[in-house]
Amino acid sequence: MKIHVKKEACVGHARCAAVAEDIFPLDENGYIAVTEIDVPPGKEERARRGARACPERIITIEE
């Protein structure tokens, strides 16, 4: 599973990281730090929950 993030649209709610901080790294200002994430095996459901937590819907999942 791979996650794609429209980093430039992040407004820093950090809800993704609140659900799965080990999957969604934040920069020093509290914004998402990456544009792509390879989800480790066994963490797919947490990644989905983190993506759903984003109020801007800037996180998409590629199964």
Summarised one tens digit per residue, pLDDT across range 5-46 is 999 999 999 999 999 999 999 999 999 999 999 999 999 999
What is residue 35's predicted lDDT score, i.e. its pLDDT?
Answer: 98
What is residue 52's predicted lDDT score, i.e. its pLDDT?
Answer: 97
What is residue 27's predicted lDDT score, i.e. its pLDDT?
Answer: 97
- Say if residues 2 and 40 touch (Cβ distance below 8 Å): no
**Domain boundary assignment for the chain:** 2-62
Could you tell me the CA-to-CA distances from 21 to 16, 46, 57 in Å, in that order?
Answer: 7, 10, 17
Domain spanning 2-62: which CATH class is it, in words?
alpha beta
Tell me how far apart the terminal alpha carbons of the chain are, to the nearest angstrom: 5
Residue 29 structure tokens: 């200002």
- Look up the pTM and report it: 0.92
| Cα–Cα distance measured from residue 31 to residue 11, given in angstroms and rounded to the nearest whole number | 7
Token pair 């929950």: residue: 49
